[in-house]
């Protein structure tokens, strides 16, 4: 039989969530393989999958038609296909209209919406089981000449009858018929998964879905011969006629930048040059060094050549707004560390001080858009977002989507439920499964969870879960990626409602935007910026000098000394356990060392085994050598060891012969391989390419392993450079203004690794006087108070008191300004406090003089009655019962419970005598012991971490009254004493002391939960919890 | 499950037919004479104005079942595997109870499920069954009725027995407590048993795990004083407040001023304290179990004829009818047991489609069953046991009509079904229900008649297959002969419509992939046949159109 030519015009991808059962790329590849002339992706009221389809179609050379399927409120169904850019815009805004009219994840459209919509689109009417001629007539009146009747024959037993009936109907209404397939999957084999998706959508097990399942697997891309058997020739030919009329390609979309940023009479280029020049004079009032001038001329030329001026102007505008509003911000990313950005005030990374080259980050060949992320104070990012909406309007600005995909647990959970397992079983199974690149089941653990690994159900479960993995599940909003257009955004990409009220997101994610070369700006929130701004303001107020980040003295020796001692609690980025362990070994002495420090303690370098070689070379224990001159150029600044993401990319180019574009795809694949897999082909290419160019297979393997690590958390030099600045600034504040720094950190919680208890303890260890929360002195935030000697003390704020409302606390502060409080009744009355707020203050021990000891305070405030209008000022006379005063231990525990910290003795101090008898050493005592000594110690557990990169090791930090002890618990010990490890609040361990330079660890051999001692401290009777 | 002979009234000897009913006390509320609440100028627990009587007016025995949630579930045999019962759903799943093996691993009630699983990976975690717990508690209450007529439920996990009057029968308080504890222990239930003059105090002490016996009211406060407040089942916020005041025991609370207490903790908790100390009365609702009718009859001579048997049964059923009418209830099941000299007891069960109290209708059903029944041996004793008494369906009008209308005329379909069942056996009559399924062999199933009526109504709205289905289906598809690739049945077949492709059912391991056709055979019969899409791609006959 002669093969026919066919184009499929009705295809759902898995971006029609919980209906389509194949990825867009799978559909495209299969359509190409079957010899289809074209393929339309027509997800239900969505264009979320078209960019992926478009990229795949380009790769496979298959014409792609962009369209969407709709069901109107009254049940009318049709497919709309875009013929050209204008039609695409109409389709996109029609989808936007439907999506904006409904809650997130759904849409609502009526015939009225269709009256003036879908210009320059072709329509396929999808008649129901019993075709309603009135529907056809209504559509024909509006879409004559671009309307077809879709005949979808799916082997349901009455195909011949239906074909006849639809052909007659088409003739009667004068609507031509066309063949289409209602495709839901690329191959028949996805039938089971499609059933599972249906079950998940309906929220019931597959076995109970019944007739809502499709009776067969015909909704796949069928071979041409089979289609030729099913459909009369004219219906098949019509598919080509339609496909040819749809000549729109996503490549036609061009991003058009906002125009309003350029004043009249200027071009974007002249405006950018002028702003840069002004910045240059501000940065170097006495004249910039010639290298900088040269660099700026070079960068501006490159920007002009690539047409990126409006992008830089947009970023500049946002930063200018933030500055004006007093919001601290800093740019980072490939283009951010340019001299131009330094002059524009986007970053503080001084090009004269750094060895960073703009061209390393932005290049002609790669033809990728510049990337600038801007970090703002985390509590004030919203102001910037509102500015964007105000300035450009909701029609022109929206947040990029994040496609939430099925990961191992959610996939297993949904498939498990669909197969009828109950919640408990699914939970347990999810725990028993070990997730690696694919999906491996550890038989022993499955058995442990009470399942039989060879059971058919389990086999089905695993197979389906594996298929579902990586499927898009829903769209969410990106953390801060904004798209801003010159014209209406909804004609570029559909805009829908986000889960947050008053937020809108576009249907494409970051990768989609990258693929189409559309620019976006990332507006992110960073807690440390809030803390730094607060610290600078506090210092300004108390020292009478205003400080900005730029005023902070660079290269301060004392600051680096402190960093080398790993005395870095609270300092940005380098306060984690792993970072603190590295500091005394890497011994950073300058800014670039900090850049490396920030980037090196990441899964990439750790998994690639780059850390130790770097340290050895830095210490001069190993010669610095390069396999070739090309590699030397890439790796020289990191002593021959690849540490940054950019270096790995460059190595792929210079050592493995990747084209720059290919290296970029590798970067993209790196970020996604955990979710989607698919690094296999790159591995082959990379290792083979390097081997051919004379590099050792070992070196190539190392590079590849590092790529795998970057997948977890890729860290580029361009970001590390900006972060390193904040590392230095925060370290400077900690070293020179510890009270202000601690105060700012407390007021910016939650952020960082440590709780207020540790931050306060650390501040006191650095000589800061800390004063308790007090009804007579505290504000909502923690504050600085001037001491008699002119120094400052830190006063804890009401914000630390658990259960106290901010409004109540503010009323306290306001009422106190009139007159001090006489007693609790007076406090309750004048500050209009509810019993709950009063109770919180009493429990915190903040009532001080007003009510006596804590037990009496609680009794006293619990009896405060809401004042009656006639009895204002009268007090209820009642006797105060005899309540025992709290013991020291009770006070300490109440402090922890209410404020999260105590200014009294550490709880361990109360137990020290007992521990001394038991030969348990304190943290301070361990410091004086030699490495290898067997030791026994105990403390409060303040952190428990099991990093992915550390092969089963658990890091635990204990705290006692003398300091911290860092524990290393190997997997075997952890498994054996799981209970103590997980449960203990007070943990006793014995093990061997390990000493590496100044760094101490205890490698744990045994553990014992001593939490009962804390309970015994608390009360004479029983701990009722 | 528990015998009740001891508590039942004796037989009436002058009647030829003796009835034994499960008796429960007539009163549902036991109101005890309230004590006057004295004004308390000082501490809650100190009442100088009144003097306690030297002996308690009541004695309350509390039985607390700390592991009831676990014990209410059927258990696996593997004792080494730790077990836990889980309450709540999603991230709020918490351990409600756990066995000793789980406790050894560190699992404790109140712990989040994830934490429990982290401690005991082999933990058999099962969802809590509140209904089963209620039933078990009720069974225990029924059992406890042997000790006193006054048994009160304290859900979810305790019973209260007023035993003052019974102590003499059971050798005193300590013996009684021991006996209850031991007998429940034999039944695999973990208990704490406490006896004090007030129900509240007994309950608190039992919940705290104290197996105490206090007879003297004067000793009560001393025993309560050391009780930690955490054992009282009070709201969390009250406990937190008390702890924040440094108060940890009931004794601490009793020392506080009454007015100050009421202002801070409300009158409810004050009242609880008063009830515990016996200062305020506690009204307890007695447990009353679902009623059944029991009767036993010993004929003067052995009965070997069915007719004779029927004559003897008639007054039994009439008594049942009176019993039911007096309770305005009906039954849906009935059991008759015939004892013989040697053979095992013959059991006859009768089921009804709707609750009935009509003795004649019941007799008719029993007759119908007896007609087909062969006695293995003459009957020496007859017992009759009804199912639980259910409220009558008033809308059916049966209560008002039953006297006028003959059962046959009023019956309609349910009566027809009952009689068919009585004649052919319980399993012979069933309904058919369409199952929404694409696989023809799974698309229907047998169901109880009432369900079929409902199911039939519900399904009609959902979209069935759009193409014809034959009325008669083969239980097993029959292979067809194939000649030259074409199927044959009594000669060549001509395919009329099709194919209808059905590929589905992978989830239960019975995946099918078939192309169905309507075919006409040489004699003009229309058959429903299919071709298997899997090798060897055979043809099958699956049904015939009527």
For residue range A807-852, list pLDDT tens digits in order: 999 999 999 999 998 888 888 888 888 888 988 999 888 887 787 8
What pLDDT score does A272 carry? 94
| pLDDT at B27 (0 to 100) | 29
Q: Which residues pair with A960 in a beta bridge?
A: A963
Half-sphere exposure at residue A826, Cβ-oriented, CA atoms within 13 angstroms:
12
Q: How confident is the model at residue A395 (pLDDT cuts 50, 70, 90)?
A: confident
Are the C-beta atoms of A1 and A228 separated by less than 8 Å? yes
A628 confidence band (pLDDT: 50, 70, 90): confident
Restricting to A residues 930-949, those with a Cβ less than 8 Å away from any Cβ of B are none
Assembly ipTM: 0.74
User: DSSP label at B492?
Assistant: B
pLDDT of A366: 56
Mean pLDDT of chain B: 76
The pLDDT score that the predictor gives to residue B131 is 82
Query: Which chain A residue has its CA at the smallest distance from B110's CA?
Result: A1025
Q: Among residues of chain B, what percentage have pLDDT more than 70?
A: 76
Mean pLDDT of the A258-274 span? 87
Select the more confidently predicted residue: B403 or A862: A862
Per-residue confidence (pLDDT) for residue A127, from 0 to 100: 95
**Highest mean pLDDT (candidates A23-37, A662-676, B89-103):** A23-37
| Size of chain B, expressed as the number of residues it contains | 546
Share of chain A above pLDDT 90, in %: 44
pLDDT in tens, B381-391: 999 888 877 76
- Report pLDDT digits (tens) over A541-571: 988 878 888 788 888 999 999 999 889 999 9
Angle at A6 between CA A4 and CA A12, to 5 degrees: 145
A157/B264 touch (CB, cutoff 8 Å), yes or no: no
Length of chain A: 1025
Residues of B in contact with A1024 (CB under 8 A): 228-231, 239, 243, 248
| Residue of A423, A1024, A1025 with shortest CB distance to B229 | A1024
Cβ separation A217–B467 shorter than 8 A = no
Per-residue model confidence as pLDDT tens digits over B270-279: 888 988 888 8
Q: Is B141 on the interface with A (CB under 8 A)?
A: no
Average pLDDT of A577-603? 87
List the one residue out of B75, B74, B95, B77 whose CA is nearest residue B86: B95
Least confident of A488-497, A741-750, B190-199, B410-419: B410-419
Contact A213 B504 (CB under 8 A): yes
Predicted pLDDT of residue B371: 80
Share of chain B above pLDDT 90, in %: 10
Element (H, E) at B192: strand B192-196
- What are B510-527's pLDDT values in tens digits? 889 999 999 998 888 899
β-bridge pairing A504-509 and A440-441: unpaired
Name the residue of chain B whose CA is nearest to A854's CA.
Answer: B245
pLDDT digits (tens, 9 = 90+) for A884-937: 888 888 888 888 888 888 898 888 998 999 999 999 999 999 988 888 899 999
User: Does the pLDDT value for residue A11 go beyond 90?
Assistant: yes
Tell me the percentage of chain A whose pLDDT exceeds 70.
Answer: 89
Which of B479, B528, B462 has the alpha carbon at shortest distance from B500? B528
For all residues of chain A together, what is the average pLDDT?
Answer: 86
Residue A903 is given by DSSP the state: S
With bands split at pLDDT 50, 70 and 90, how would you rate the model's confidence at A533?
Answer: very high
Residue with tokens 């990961």: A407
Report, as an integer, the average pLDDT of A572-588.
Answer: 87
Lowest-pLDDT range of A260-264, A572-576, B327-331, B380-384: B327-331
Q: Which of A954-958, B25-29, B187-191, B347-351 has the lowest mean pLDDT?
A: B25-29
What average pLDDT does the segment B496-505 reach? 89
pLDDT band at B1 (very low <50, low <70, confident <90, very high): very low
Give the pairing of strands B539-544 and B526-532.
Answer: antiparallel
DSSP structure class, residue A970: -
Helix (H, G, I), strand (E, B) or coil at A1006: strand
- Over residues B78-120, the pLDDT tens digits come to 667 888 888 876 656 788 888 888 888 878 888 777 777 777 7
* Model pLDDT for residues A73-123, shown as the tens digit of each residue: 999 999 999 999 999 999 999 999 999 999 888 999 999 999 989 999 999
C-alpha distances (whole Å) from A516 to each of A55, A82, A407, A519 are 9, 18, 26, 9
Q: How confident is the model at residue B34 (pLDDT cuts 50, 70, 90)?
A: very low
The mean pLDDT value for B213-220 works out to: 85
Q: Nearest-CA distance from A855 to chain B in Å? A: 4
Can you give A151-176 as a three-state secondary structure string? ECCCCECCHHHHHHHHHHHHHHHCCC
Residue B64 has pLDDT above 70, yes or no: yes
Q: How confident is the model at residue A660 (pLDDT cuts 50, 70, 90)?
A: low
User: At B446, is the pLDDT very low, low, confident or very high (cuts 50, 70, 90)?
Assistant: low
The span from the CA of B518 to the CA of B301, in Å, is: 68
> Which distant-in-sequence residues (6+ apart) come within 8 Å of A899 by Cβ?
A756, A773, A796, A800, A801, A802, A844
Instruction: Look at residue A24 in the predicted model and tell me its pLDDT.
Output: 96
Task: State whether A982 and B90 contact (CB < 8 Å).
Answer: no
What average pLDDT does the segment A15-23 reach? 96
Residue of B223 and A10 predicted with greater confidence: A10
Cα(B318)–Cα(B322) distance, rounded to whole angstroms?
Answer: 6
Angle between helices A577-586 and A611-618 (to 10 degrees): 30
Give me the residues of B, 15-74, that contact A with CB < 8 A.
none
Residues 263 to 292 of B: which have CB under 8 A from any A CB? 263-264
Which of A345-359, A371-385, A510-524 shows the highest mean pLDDT? A371-385
Say how many Å lie between the first and final Cα of chain B, rounded: 53
User: Please, which pLDDT band fits residue B9 given cuts at 50, 70 and 90?
Assistant: very low
pLDDT at residue number B143 = 83
* Short-list B413, B424, B530, B420, CA closest to B469: B530
Res. A219: pLDDT tops 90: yes
Pair A140, A170: CB distance under 8 Å? no
Give the torsion sign (CA, A774, A778, A784, A789).
Answer: negative
Rg of chain B in Å (alpha carbons): 33
Q: In angstroms, rounded to a whole number, what is the distance separating the alpha carbons of residues A295 and B55?
A: 102
Higher pLDDT, B46 or A738: A738
Task: Band the pLDDT of A674: cuts 50, 70, 90.
Answer: low
More confident position, A861 or A709: A861
Q: What pLDDT shows up at residue A361?
A: 54
**Which residues of chain A are within 8 Å of residue B264 when distances are taken between CB atoms?**
859, 862-863
Interface of B with A in 301-330 (CB under 8 A): none
More confident residue, A976 or A740: A740
Q: In sequence order, which residues have a C-beta less than 8 Å from that of residue A169 and are 6 or more positions away?
A: A127, A131, A133, A136, A149, A175
CA dist., res. A802 & res. A755, Å (int): 14
Spatial separation of the C-alpha atoms in residues A866 and A859, rounded to whole Å: 16
Q: Which residues of B touch A158 (CB under 8 A)?
A: 466-467, 497, 500
Q: Which of residues 864-883 of A touch B (CB under 8 A)?
A: 865, 878-879, 881-883
Ranked by mean pLDDT, which of A709-713, A918-922, B451-455, B464-468 comes out on top? A918-922
CA A499 from centroid of its chain's CA atoms: 16
Angstroms from A425 CA to nearest CA on chain B: 9
d(CA B86, CA B109): 9
């Amino acid at each position: 039989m002669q093969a026919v030519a066919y184009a499929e015009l009705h295809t759902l991808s898995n971006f029609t969530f919980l209906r389509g059962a194949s990825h867009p790329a799978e559909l495209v590849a299969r359509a190409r393989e079957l010899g289809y002339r074209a393929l339309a992706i027509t997800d239900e009221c969505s264009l979320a999958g078209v960019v992926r389809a478009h990229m795949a179609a380009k790769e496979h050379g298959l014409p792609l038609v962009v369209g969407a399927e709709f069901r109107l409120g009254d049940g009318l169904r049709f497919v709309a296909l875009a013929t050209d850019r204008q039609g695409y815009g109409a389709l996109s805004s029609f989808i936007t209209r439907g999506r904006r009219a409904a809650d997130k994840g759904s849409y609502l459209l009526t015939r009225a919406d269709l009256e003036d919509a879908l210009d320059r689109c072709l329509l396929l009417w999808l008649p129901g089981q019993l075709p309603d001629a009135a529907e056809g007539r209504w559509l024909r009146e509006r879409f004559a000449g671009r309307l077809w009747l879709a005949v979808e024959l799916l082997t349901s037993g009455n195909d011949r009858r239906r074909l006849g009936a639809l052909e007659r109907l088409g003739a009667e209404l004068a609507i031509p018929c066309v063949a289409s397939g209602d495709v839901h999957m690329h191959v028949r084999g996805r039938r089971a998964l499609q059933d599972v998706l249906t079950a998940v959508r309906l929220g019931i097990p597959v076995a109970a879905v019944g007739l809502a399942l499709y009776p067969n697997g015909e909704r796949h891309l069928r071979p041409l011969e089979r289609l030729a058997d099913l459909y009369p020739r004219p219906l098949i030919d019509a598919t080509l006629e339609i496909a040819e009329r749809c000549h729109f390609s996503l490549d036609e979309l061009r991003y058009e930048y906002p125009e309003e940023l350029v004043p009249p009479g200027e071009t974007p280029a002249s405006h950018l040059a002028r702003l840069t020049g002004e910045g240059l004079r501000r940065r170097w009032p006495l004249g910039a060094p010639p290298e900088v001038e040269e660099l700026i001329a070079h960068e501006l030329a490159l920007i002009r050549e690539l047409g990126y001026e409006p992008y830089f102007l947009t970023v500049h505008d946002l930063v200018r707004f933030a500055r004006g509003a007093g919001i601290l911000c800093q740019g980072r990313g490939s283009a951010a560390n340019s001299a131009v950005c330094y002059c524009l005030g986007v970053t503080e990374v001084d090009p004269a001080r750094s060895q960073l080259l703009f061209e390393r980050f932005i290049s002609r060949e790669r033809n990728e858009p510049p990337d600038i992320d801007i970090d703002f104070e985390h509590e004030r990012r919203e102001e910037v977002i509102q500015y964007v909406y105000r300035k450009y309007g909701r029609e022109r600005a929206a947040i990029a989507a994040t496609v939430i995909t099925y990961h191992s647990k959610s996939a297993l959970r949904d498939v498990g439920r669909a197969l009828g397992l109950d919640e408990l079983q699914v939970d347990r199974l999810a725990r028993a499964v070990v997730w690696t690149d694919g999906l491996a089941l550890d038989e022993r653990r499955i058995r442990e969870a009470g399942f039989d690994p060879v059971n058919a159900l389990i086999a089905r479960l695993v197979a389906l879960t594996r298929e579902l993995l990586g499927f898009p599940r829903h769209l969410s909003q990106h953390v801060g990626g904004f798209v801003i257009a010159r014209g209406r955004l909804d004609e570029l990409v559909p805009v829908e409602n986000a889960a947050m009220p008053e937020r809108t997101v576009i249907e494409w994610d970051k990768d989609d935007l990258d693929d189409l070369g559309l620019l976006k700006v990332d507006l992110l929130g960073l807690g440390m910026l809030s803390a730094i701004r607060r610290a600078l303001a506090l210092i300004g107020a108390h020292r009478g000098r205003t400080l900005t980040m730029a005023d902070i003295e660079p290269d301060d020796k004392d600051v680096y000394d402190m960093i080398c001692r790993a005395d870095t609690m609270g300092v940005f980025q380098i306060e984690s356990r792993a970072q603190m362990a590295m500091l005394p070994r890497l011994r950073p002495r300058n800014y670039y060392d900090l850049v490396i420090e920030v980037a090196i303690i990441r899964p990439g370098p750790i998994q690639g085994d780059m850390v130790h070689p770097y340290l050895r070379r830095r210490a001069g224990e190993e010669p610095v050598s390069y396999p070739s001159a090309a590699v030397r150029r890439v790796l020289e600044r990191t002593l021959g060891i690849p540490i940054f993401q950019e270096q790995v990319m460059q190595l792929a180019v210079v050592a493995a012969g990747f084209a720059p574009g290919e290296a970029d795809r590798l970067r993209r694949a790196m970020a996604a391989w955990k979710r989607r897999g698919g690094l296999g082909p790159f591995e082959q290419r990379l290792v083979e390419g390097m081997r051919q160019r004379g590099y050792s297979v070992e070196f190539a393997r190392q590079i590849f392993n590092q790529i795998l690590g970057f997948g977890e958390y890729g860290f580029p030099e361009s970001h590390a450079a900006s972060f390193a600045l904040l590392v230095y600034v925060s370290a400077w504040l900690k070293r020179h203004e510890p009270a202000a720094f601690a105060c700012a950190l407390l007021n910016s919680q939650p952020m960082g690794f440590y709780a207020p208890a540790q931050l306060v303890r650390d501040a006191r260890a650095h000589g800061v006087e800390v004063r308790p929360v007090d009804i007579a002195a505290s504000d909502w935030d923690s504050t600085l108070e001037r001491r008699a000697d002119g120094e400052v003390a830190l006063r804890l704020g009401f914000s630390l008191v658990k259960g106290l409302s901010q409004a109540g606390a503010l009323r306290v502060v306001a009422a106190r300004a009139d007159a001090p409080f006489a007693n609790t009744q007076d406090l309750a009355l004048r500050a209009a406090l509810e019993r709950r707020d009063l109770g919180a203050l009493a429990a915190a021990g903040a009532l001080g003089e007003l009510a006596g000891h804590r037990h009496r305070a609680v009794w006293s405030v619990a009896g405060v009655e809401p004042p009656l209008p006639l009895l204002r000022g009268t007090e209820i006379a009642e006797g105060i019962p005899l309540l025992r005063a709290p013991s020291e231990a009770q006070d300490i525990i109440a402090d922890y419970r209410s404020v999260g910290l105590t200014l009294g003795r550490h709880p361990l101090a109360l137990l020290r005598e007992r521990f001394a008898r038991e030969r348990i050493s304190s943290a301070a005592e361990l410091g004086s012991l030699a490495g290898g000594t067997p030791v026994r110690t105990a403390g409060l557990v303040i952190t428990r971490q099991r990093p992915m990169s550390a092969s089963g090791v658990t890091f635990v930090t204990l705290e006692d009254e003398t300091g911290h002890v860092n524990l290393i618990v190997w997997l075997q010990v952890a498994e054996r004493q799981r209970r103590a490890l997980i449960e203990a609040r007070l943990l006793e361990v014995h093990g061997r002391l390990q000493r590496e330079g100044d760094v101490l660890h205890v490698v744990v051999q045994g553990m014992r939960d001593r939490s009962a001692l804390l309970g015994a401290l608390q009360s004479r009777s029983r701990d009722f919890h | 499950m528990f015998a009740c002979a001891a508590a039942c009234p004796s037989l009436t000897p002058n009647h030829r037919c003796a009835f034994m009913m499960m008796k429960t006390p007539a009163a549902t509320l036991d109101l005890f004479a309230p004590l006057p609440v004295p004004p308390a100028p000082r501490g809650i627990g100190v009442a100088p104005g009144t003097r306690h009587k030297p002996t308690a007016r009541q004695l309350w025995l509390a039985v607390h079942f700390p592991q009831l949630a676990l014990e209410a579930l059927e258990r696996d045999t593997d004792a080494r595997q730790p077990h836990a019962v889980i309450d709540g759903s999603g991230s709020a799943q918490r351990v409600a109870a756990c066995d000793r093996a789980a406790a050894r691993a560190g699992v404790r009630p109140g712990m989040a499920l994830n934490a429990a699983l982290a401690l005991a990976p082999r933990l058999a975690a099962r969802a809590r069954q509140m209904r089963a717990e209620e039933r078990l508690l009720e069974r225990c209450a029924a059992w406890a009725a042997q000790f006193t007529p006054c048994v009160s439920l304290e859900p979810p996990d305790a019973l209260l027995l007023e035993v003052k009057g019974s102590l003499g029968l059971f050798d005193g308080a300590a013996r009684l407590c021991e006996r209850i504890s031991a007998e429940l222990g034999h039944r695999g239930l973990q208990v704490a048993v406490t006896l004090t003059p007030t129900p509240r105090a007994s309950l608190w002490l039992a919940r705290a795990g104290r197996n105490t016996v206090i007879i003297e009211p004067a000793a009560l406060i001393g025993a309560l004083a050391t009780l930690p407040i955490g054992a009282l089942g009070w709201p969390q916020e009250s406990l937190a407040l008390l702890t924040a005041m440094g108060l940890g025991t009931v004794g601490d609370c009793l020392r506080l001023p009454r007015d100050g207490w009421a202002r801070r903790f409300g009158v409810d908790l004050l009242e609880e304290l008063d009830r515990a100390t016996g200062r305020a009365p506690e009204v307890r609702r007695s447990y009353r179990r679902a009623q059944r009718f029991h009767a036993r009859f010993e004929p003067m001579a052995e009965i070997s004829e069915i007719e004779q048997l029927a004559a003897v049964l008639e007054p039994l059923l009439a008594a049942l009818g009176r019993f039911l009418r007096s309770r305005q209830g009906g039954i849906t099941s009935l059991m008759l047991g015939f004892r013989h000299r040697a053979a095992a007891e013959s059991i006859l069960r009768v089921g009804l489609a709707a609750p009935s109290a009509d003795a004649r209708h019941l007799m008719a059903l029993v007759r119908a069953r007896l007609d087909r029944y062969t006695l293995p041996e003459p009957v020496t004793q007859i017992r009759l046991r009804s199912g639980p008494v259910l409220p009558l369906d008033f809308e059916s009008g049966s209560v008002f009509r039953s006297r006028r209308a003959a059962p046959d005329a009023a019956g309609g379909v349910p009566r027809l079904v009952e009689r068919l069942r009585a004649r052919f056996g319980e399993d012979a009559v069933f309904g058919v229900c369409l199952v929404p399924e694409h696989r023809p062999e799974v698309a229907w199933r047998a169901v109880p008649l009432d369900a079929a009526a409902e199911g039939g109504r519900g399904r009609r709205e959902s979209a069935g297959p759009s193409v014809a289905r034959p009325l008669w289906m083969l239980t097993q598809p029959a292979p067809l002969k194939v000649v030259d690739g074409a199927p044959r049945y009594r000669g060549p077949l001509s395919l009329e419509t099709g194919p209808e492709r059905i590929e589905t059912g992978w989830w239960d391991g019975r995946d099918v992939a078939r192309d169905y056709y309507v075919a006409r055979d040489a004699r003009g019969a229309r058959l429903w046949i299919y071709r298997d899409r899997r090798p060897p791609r055979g043809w099958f006959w699956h049904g015939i159109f009527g």
